[in-house]
Amino acid sequence: MGKLRTGGSFLIITGPPTANAVACAITKYDSSLACNCRCWATDAAHEQEMEKIKTYLDGFTALGLSETAFMQAQTLWQESAESVTCGTLRNSSLVTDERKSGLNRFLADQIRAGRWAKQLNLLEVNDVCDPDGSGNDLLAALREKL
């Protein structure tokens, strides 16, 4: 574990991939988790998009923990050609999409309700330092449940 001069820490883990091409983390990319002008709280399909995230995490965590690699969940809006086009038209970004969708707050609420925390090693999010405090709330939820 390293410490940054300006505060914070980082962890670097390297190693050769195993026969199944897994190095230090098992992850599952899901292209259907792109925002595509549907994820903001003001969008009509917002609840459906949040349900997709929930279904993805339920399925990923059902795999259980690995004895040889970290389980890394990508709990963020993925990029696709459509989502980049949509984001450009909306003058948005992945960070803005997280903020306007309330994704980090949603994840914190789900973890507090008993979902996922004990089945993950790494939780990959966007905008953990967001100004509304939901990134800190997500970290607090994880600490409460671990």
pLDDT of residue 17: 61
Q: Indicate the helix (H) or strand (E) that contains 25.
A: strand 25-26
| DSSP per-residue codes, 29-40 | --GGGB-TT--S
Residue 66 placed within a domain = yes
CB 69 within 8 A of CB 88: no
- pLDDT of 44 over the 70 cut: yes
Residue 106 placed within a domain = yes
pLDDT tens per residue across span 51-102: 999 999 999 999 999 888 888 898 999 988 999 999 999 999 989 999 999 9
Share of the chain above pLDDT 70, in %: 90
Residue 28 placed within a domain = no
Give the CA distances from residue 116 to residues 16, 20, 30, 108, 120, in Å, rounded to whole numbers and listed in that order: 28, 25, 17, 10, 7
| DSSP per-residue codes, 44-107 | TTHHHHHHHHHHHHHHHHTT---SSSEEEEE-SPBP-HHHHHHHHHTT--HHHHHHHHTHHHHH
SS3 for 138?
Answer: helix
Q: What is the pTM assigned to this prediction?
A: 0.83
Q: How many domains are there within the chain? A: 1
Residue 57 placed within a domain = yes
pLDDT of residue 128: 85
Residue 124 placed within a domain = yes
Tokens of 42: 């003001």
Residue 15 placed within a domain = no
Domain range for 45 is 38-145
Tokens of 37: 């002008």
Residue 9 placed within a domain = no
Residue 30 placed within a domain = no
